[in-house]
Amino acid sequence: MALAASLSYPLLRSYSSPRRRHRRSAVAASLRPEEGIVIVGAGVAGLATALALRRLGVAAAVLEQGATLRAGGTSLTLFKNGWRVLDSIGVADELRAKYLRIQGMRMRSPAAGGRDLREFSFEEEAPGQEVRAVERRVLLETLASKLPPGTISFSSKLKSIAEQGPDGTLLELEDGRQVLAKIVIGCDGVNSPIARWMGFSEPRYVGHMAFRGLAEYADGQPFEPKVNYIYGRGVRAGFVPVSPTKVYWFICFNRPDPGPKVTDPAALKSEALDLVRGWPSDLLAVMRSTPEGAVVRTPLVDRWLWPGLAPRASRGSRVVLAGDAWHPMTPNLGQGACCALEDAVVLARRLAAAADADAAGVEAAMRGYEAERWARVFPLTARAGLVGALVQWENAAVCAARDGVVIPRLVRLGPFLEHTNFECDLLEPAAAASP
């Protein structure tokens, strides 16, 4: 059945028993029967995909398990490729006005004074590069604000998924509703139930964890717009100004297993400070300026999409994955959010181009998206994992070589950032998609 039909008659139906029907909350009742594409997950990949489709004239519904947009997390560092996608879907300038453009990078040792190892200027080493750290919450709110009211159905947690022959894919939600969709786009994050249903393995813990925090300076933060990296033995840390009043920081540290989850905000902040006690005072000052509730600790995971071994990113013409649900990667290259944004525009273009196609044509569009994106994300995932393994070395001799030879003499920023080259034309707004 042609994808274009999703703009003219119902392809998505929402079912519930009379007993359950009266219990729906207002936010959970925003599913509409005339939408044929259902995106599961209102994170970066999900909202960017919905907006890209919208700009190409294709409507989609978004299911979000939370009662609101997820405000958790701190900030996301977006490079040139991420900003090109944000330009293409029409939200980049609104975000640029709020966040500082990072001018360069400074690398230091963990001694109290922070001995300089190397300093780079983006303009000199990588002309045309654009780097800004963006609050995750604000990015999600900005993307959501460009979608029509009712696009996102909150309090809609997926319970199960099942194929329903030629009718589509049946999504059963925790509150008892059942949604029959012609196309499902799984953007439900690292621990994606849809990816699990499609046969993907659980993400692999890579042996180190990260603390992240967002410091607040009501009277203005004092730092130059540079990325600051500090390398120790098995521990590395850094911070980067986000806005005139906020600074993002992180610590990566080795640990054989993730251990128990810690939820006490004071304990998290204390543990993070203990890891870098005696390190440069500016890092410690940033950490101490962070509200306790703005510190998170997460295990770092990835999934390498080995050719011939990993399942396909799509199942027939019905289900396809994007973002972390398909290719979770470690943050060592700063490409997780950027790649999710790239997925969004590539998938949207492929599906919009198949608007007049039958099921075979839609399946071909999904396979084309998978082939194009696999060639991009598999090398990046592997590279991010290898970079993380190298910089987390604890061996004293290796770390001495890193600080004395590799960073000062061998590292070149331009070649290192070649992966941020991504062509992305503007998505010209099409006629308004059907509501």
What is the per-residue pLDDT across 351-406, written as a single tens digit (0 to 9) for each?
A: 999 988 899 999 999 999 999 999 999 999 999 999 999 999 999 999 999 999 99
Shared-domain flag, residues 185 and 322: yes
Give the residue among 143, 194, 148 at the shortest CA–CA distance from 34.
Answer: 148
- pLDDT value, residue 427: 86
Give the residue among 147, 164, 256, 166 at the shortest CA–CA distance from 209.
Answer: 256
Helices then strands, counting H and E runs in the chain, come out as 13, 19
Shared-domain flag, residues 367 and 326: yes
Residue 275 sits in a domain of what CATH number?
A: 3.30.9.30
Residue 381 sits in a domain of what CATH number?
A: 3.50.50.60
Shared-domain flag, residues 240 and 377: no
Q: Is residue 433 part of a domain?
A: no
Question: Amino acid identity, residue 205?
Answer: Y
Shared-domain flag, residues 287 and 326: no
Shared-domain flag, residues 219 and 159: no
Q: Among 344, 370, 386, which residue terminates a domain?
A: 386
What angle (nearest 5°) sits at the alpha carbon of residue 357, between those of residues 355 and 362?
85
Question: Amino acid identity, residue 168?
Answer: G
pLDDT, one tens digit for every residue, the chain (435 residues):
444 434 333 333 443 333 333 333 344 445 544 358 999 999 999 999 999 999 999 999 999 999 999 877 799 999 999 999 999 999 999 999 999 999 999 999 998 777 999 999 999 999 999 999 999 999 999 999 999 999 999 999 999 999 988 878 999 999 999 999 999 999 999 999 999 999 999 999 999 999 999 999 999 999 999 999 999 999 999 999 999 999 999 999 999 999 999 989 999 999 999 999 999 999 999 999 999 889 999 999 999 999 999 999 999 999 999 999 999 999 999 999 999 999 999 999 999 999 888 999 999 999 999 999 999 999 999 999 999 999 999 999 999 999 999 999 998 989 999 999 999 988 876 544 544
Pairing of strands 246-254, 204-216: antiparallel
Shared-domain flag, residues 299 and 339: no
- pLDDT value, residue 72: 73
What does pTM read for this prediction?
A: 0.92
Q: Is residue 426 part of a domain?
A: no
- Would the CA dihedral through 118, 78, 304, 201 be positive or negative? positive
Question: Amino acid identity, residue 324?
Answer: D
Q: Is residue 429 part of a domain?
A: no
Shared-domain flag, residues 285 and 333: no
Shared-domain flag, residues 130 and 223: yes
Structure-block tokens of residue 408: 């000062």
Give the residue among 146, 110, 153, 81 at the shortest CA–CA distance from 343.
Answer: 81
Residue 42 is part of which domain span? Answer: 3-72+138-202+304-386
Which DSSP category does 94 fall into? Answer: H
Beta-bridge partner residues of 185: 39, 320
Shared-domain flag, residues 130 and 243: yes
Taking the CA atoms of the chain, what radius of gyration do you get in angstroms?
22
Shared-domain flag, residues 339 and 309: yes
Q: Is residue 425 part of a domain?
A: no
Q: Is residue 431 part of a domain?
A: no
Range 410-415 contact pairs with CB under 8 angstroms and sequence separation of 24 or more: 411/118, 412/125, 413/105, 413/120, 413/122, 413/125, 413/126, 414/125, 414/126
Q: Is residue 217 part of a domain?
A: yes
Pairing of strands 183-186, 319-321: parallel
- pLDDT value, residue 25: 39
Query: Into how many domains does the chain fold?
Result: 2
Shared-domain flag, residues 17 and 110: no
Shared-domain flag, residues 149 and 294: no
Q: Is residue 428 part of a domain?
A: no
Q: What is the dihedral of CA 16, 21, 23, 28, to 10 degrees?
A: 60
- pLDDT value, residue 333: 96
Q: Is residue 356 part of a domain?
A: yes
Structure-block tokens of residue 98: 């709020």
